[in-house]
Amino acid sequence: MITLTDVAAKKVAELLAEEGAQDLALRVSVKSGGCSGFSYDMYFDGDIAADDVTLTFGDVKVVVDPASAPMLEGASLDFKNSLTEQGFSISNPNAQRSCGCGKSFS
């Protein structure tokens, strides 16, 4: 299942604190679309279904729906903040190819 790097978990915790929403989870999912066939979706969610996969990284709860779970097996969510890169990125060993924007894969 997907993992969060320590840097990503810290950034998600900071964003939750800024929102004043410690009771929410980070939902990571895969949806059809994008220039390569699938794209990632991430947002804070308070509605956790009984069949969602729930993971905890420090104070951060991550949920993944059952349809997205197989496509995120072994993936890692990181956060970069440098001169050349800023934001979250997913490294996914299941992606056979990805587009130039890094947000779409197949």
Give me the pLDDT at residue 62, please.
97
User: How many structural domains comprise the chain?
Assistant: 1
How do residues 2-31 score in pLDDT, each as one tens digit? 999 999 999 999 999 998 887 899 999 998
| 48 occurs within a structural domain | yes
- Local structure of 17: helix, strand or coil: helix
CATH of the domain at 25: 2.60.300.12
Which residue, among 90, 99, 94, has the nearest Cα to 37 in the 3D structure?
A: 99
Q: Which domain holds residue 58?
A: 3-95
pTM of the predicted model as reported, rounded to 2 decimal places: 0.83
